[in-house]
Amino acid sequence: MKWLCCTAGKQAVAAASDAVVAVPNVPAAVVQVLTAAGVRISDAQAMAAALKQQPGIELWLQARLDLRWPDVGFGSSSDAELCAAFSTVQQDWTSAPAAAAASAGASSASAAVPAAGGRDIPSLLEVLAEFRVWEFSLDRVARFVQPSLIPDVLRFAVNQLRARSAAALVKHLSTPPEKLLSALLYEQEWQLEHAAEEQQQQQQLPPPPPLVFVGNRQQDQHAQQQQQHEQQQQQHAESHIKHMHSLQQQQLTPALLDELLLLAADRRHYPLLLQLLQLPIPGPQQLPSSTMYAVLRSVLQDARSSKWQADLSRKLCELPAARLLDAAQVYTLLLAAAQQQFTMWYIAQLPGAGQLSSAQANVLASAAVDITHSCAVRHIVNVVNLLQPRQLVQLLQRTLLLATLAGEGTGEEDGDGKEEPWCDARMSALRIPYSESNRVDRLEVLEYLCAADVAAALDADEVAELLVAAAELGDCTALTLLLEHLPNAAAADSDTARRLLEVALQHRHSKLLSKVASCFSQQLRLCFCECADEAATCLLRADDKQLLAQMVHQLLSWMPWYVEDGLPQLLQLAVRLRRSEAVPALHGKLWSRKPLKHELPVAEVQALLRAAARSSSSSIMVHSLMLLPGAQRLPGRGLQLVMDECCRRGNAAAAAAAAHWERSRGMAMATAAAAAAAAAPAAPAVSSKELA
């Protein structure tokens, strides 16, 4: 770019100023090079471009100001000089646009006004463009801006890439006149203190001659008169400031505010948007719904505005125009705010949210369920209530799946006491990706959906479908939540209870089996008699000792007569299948506590012992059968019966069983003897003399 400018020459570059300045979004470094090469822009051109909402036009004024730096500033200029300077410059680009266009190639130095301190006073647009420089106090400048210029000045400031100047102007317009006067008085007090310090330094000088003394007295009288005159001027200035500030505020009409809000939203000036909405004027309350919708949609679609979305959404949704949004507009806003929970809540409270169709509500609820945070569903409960029952069932099924895939708490316990989901291995094997999320949030989403008003409209078949879905996923916690929070879930019929029990047995899920048995004990007691033996037999053949013991325990609680009708046949099958560990498992679950329950008949125990002796079972099987309730009534707890049967059969298991039994009994007797010896008093010592 520098080579091109040097080759073309300053005259050619200056002649192309109009075309160059009309290009939007020129980088700041390029603007600096072009300005140094001869490109010039007048205030009239800058304002005209800003009114056309050309972005980046203030960069040309900054570059123009940099050429005159540091010979530009306020210096020690008085308020009158600043007021005259700004008024003159402003009238140049407002009342004579044709003349300004003719002077487009003129140098900016001609527009500069000399300050009292020997430095050029910048123009108003230069102050707005270079507000980042601390020497240019915009608070001091805003007091001198003519009220008729306020609309265009605000448009120029809001159009900038940065909103600092616009924020300062809006702050000035929203400040009460009393605070402005307080700031002015503070500035004047500082000036008086500075003058008093200078006067004190003069009093410390040597005494002047008598003629000078007389002159000083005359000066004191003149100073008093001057002070009275200054007080009168100050009162007049205060009234003038109040009047000017009131006229400036009147320029901020609802139409202008509407235009500024749309421009600020387009420039992504989110703090400025909030500042404009908080103006103490009736303008925000008179905004049309189209402006409110456009601003809020622009805020929600920009990911960088997440810091301000909640405050802006709350402020916009509190306006009267927000209540005029129709269902289509509210639907679009809710979709855009899917990742912002508090924003969704503000929008969901609008009247238009209650007019959504069930299809629209289903889309919004599905998007909220897919989000990892439970607040997304909680904040749109009124939208969830618009769903049809079948839509809620599908949504609950998806929530169950996401909760199961979320992580721990859905399967059997491992060695560390934590529970792993049964479906993790399946998902990994199939290489199906899923988004990780907090399981607690997923379960909270399940609770919120079950608490919706439409959940009470689900029929028995739909409730049964959800319960079976949770059981098939192996998620006992989710099934518990459904039973506790879903209406009519605990009152499911016997067919549903039987299906749940079958699923628990198929998955070999002990916690799920226990939960189903405890919640549906009445239904299962009535419907499960015919297939009880089949279920227990399947578990025995599968060699699932823990679940077998739990299942038999549940069967005995439902059917006390099972101890005589089914349990002996089950134990005989265990002997035939040589499931030597199945009997100890049943013993630990059913007969390890006192008082003994479900005692087997003596005849059944004898039959089991004979069958074990005939089938060459291991000593563990024989010993386990001898520990069953009922065997204690047999001689030697059935040992003699086993030995006799084995002798007739020539079975070698008799010796093993006897040895095992005698060894166990011997160890018990030795332990008892040692305990008795330790408890007996010690005999007195006998001396050798007494012994002789």
pLDDT of 595 higher than 50: no
Q: Tell me what percent of the residues of the chain surpass a pLDDT of 70.
A: 58
Look at 157-166, 401-410, 451-460, 616-625 and tell me which has the smallest mean pLDDT: 616-625
Q: Tell me what percent of the residues of the chain surpass a pLDDT of 90.
A: 22
pLDDT of 231 higher than 60: yes
Q: How does residue 54 score in pLDDT terms, banded at 50, 70 and 90?
A: very high
Q: How far apart are the first and last CA of the chain?
A: 130
Average pLDDT over residues 18-44: 87
What distance in Å separates the CA atoms of residue 423 and residue 404, rounded to the nearest whole number? 8
Average pLDDT over residues 414-442: 52
What distance in Å separates the CA atoms of residue 548 and residue 544, rounded to the nearest whole number? 6
What's residue 416's pLDDT? 36
* Residues in CB range of 74: below 8 A, 6 or more apart: 82, 115, 117, 119, 121, 135, 136, 137, 140
What's residue 430's pLDDT? 45
Q: What is the pLDDT of residues 365-404, one digit of tens each?
A: 999 888 867 788 888 989 999 999 999 999 999 999 888 8
Q: How does residue 413 score in pLDDT terms, banded at 50, 70 and 90?
A: very low
> What are the domain boundaries of the chain?
2-174, 254-337, 357-528, 552-667
pLDDT of 143 higher than 70: yes
Tokens 């002070």, residue located: 227
What distance in Å separates the CA atoms of residue 508 and residue 380, rounded to the nearest whole number? 38
pLDDT of 86 higher than 90: no
Highest mean pLDDT pick, 144-148, 370-374, 394-398, 524-528: 394-398
The tokens describing 517, both together, are 């048995």
Tokens 């387009």, residue located: 266
Q: How does residue 587 score in pLDDT terms, banded at 50, 70 and 90?
A: low
- The average confidence (pLDDT) of the chain is 74
What's residue 374's pLDDT? 77
Average pLDDT over residues 22-45: 88
Average pLDDT over residues 276-302: 89
Average pLDDT over residues 667-686: 50
What's residue 245's pLDDT? 83
Q: Are the C-beta atoms of residues 646 and 605 closer than 8 Å to each other?
A: no
What's residue 71's pLDDT? 62
What's residue 332's pLDDT? 93
Q: Are the C-beta atoms of residues 361 and 369 closer than 8 Å to each other?
A: no
